[in-house]
Amino acid sequence: MRDQISVTGMVLKTEPVGEYDRRVVLLTRERGKIAAFARGARKQGSRLLASTNPFCFGEFTLYEGRSAYGIAESNISNYFEGFREDFESACYGMYFLEVMDYYTRENNDEKEMLGLLYQSLRALLHPGLPDELVRYIFEIRAIAVNGEYPGLPVRKEPYLPSTVYAVDYIVGCRIEKLYTFTVTKEVLSELSEIADRYRKRFVDKKMKSLEILGEIPC
């Protein structure tokens, strides 16, 4: 019998393989980002059919093959089903998954990134938080977690004091406390500018979900 390991993580993306299988990319607490194959996951009635879709978070039992992992079992604790009823929030969520796929690596300690992703997806489904605010907080904190935070971008006009305070809080607070505030339109505009400048500087990949978001009417 092949040795099995248990990991806690989230499905970042999935793609069909062959007639019935899936290749799944997981962001895990124990082994960073890993790829695994789910045999027969696209068959109707498969126990892995629902649990190998993007956003699924829970415990996955894996076996180690010669060149890849295989998924034996799954126990999903959160499917983030709310995204099925909110297309725009789902697009933001897919963007977050793309960012994590870009930033994270296998066998890295990605616990903080996983925590950021989980809390950010929950925040998107919170009715009291604008999706745009969640996005800017997510982008700024992801850069900080990745060790690239350079401080506030330099510009001619000083930032509003509330903006400076907000960015300091985003960078330094516990992830569990990250989405516990709202801001004025003026501060939101400055956070948008800051996050945009960071993204252009540190992310050299076009995100498909971000392009879709840009096409959604305001």
Instruction: Tell me the CATH number at 195.
Output: 1.20.1440.120
pLDDT tens for 64-113 read: 877 789 999 999 999 999 999 999 999 999 999 999 999 999 889 999 99
pTM metric for this prediction: 0.94
Q: Tell me the pLDDT tens digit for each residue of 10-31.
A: 999 999 998 899 999 999 999 9
Report the pLDDT value the prediction gives residue 217, as an integer from 0 to 100: 64
Range(s) of the domain holding residue 42: 4-78
Q: 8 forms bridges with which residues in the sheet?
A: 59
Establish if 24 belongs to a structural domain: yes
Contact 141, 178 (CB under 8 A): yes
Q: Are residues 157 and 64 in the same domain?
A: no
What is the predicted pLDDT for the residue at 35? 93
Q: Do 68 and 97 share a domain, yes or no?
A: no
**Quick check: 218 pLDDT over 60?**
no
Give the CATH number for residue 12: 2.40.50.140
Residue ending a domain, among 78, 98, 132, is 78
Q: How confident is the model at residue 2, as a pLDDT?
A: 63
Has residue 201 been placed in a domain? yes
**Average pLDDT of every residue of the chain:** 92
pLDDT per residue over 42-52, tens digit each? 988 888 999 99
pLDDT computed for residue 169 by the predictor: 97
Q: Please identify which residue in the block is written with the tokens 């498969």.
A: 46
Number of domain units in the chain: 2
Tokens of 72: 């034996």
Which of 26, 46, 78 corresponds to the end of one domain? 78
* The domain boundary residue, chosen from 78, 109, 137: 78
| pLDDT tens column, 200-215 | 999 888 888 888 887 7
3-state helix/strand/coil string of 59-128: EEEEEECCCCEEEEEEEEEECCHHHHHCHHHHHHHHHHHHHHHHHCCECCCCHHHHHHHHHHHHHHCCCC
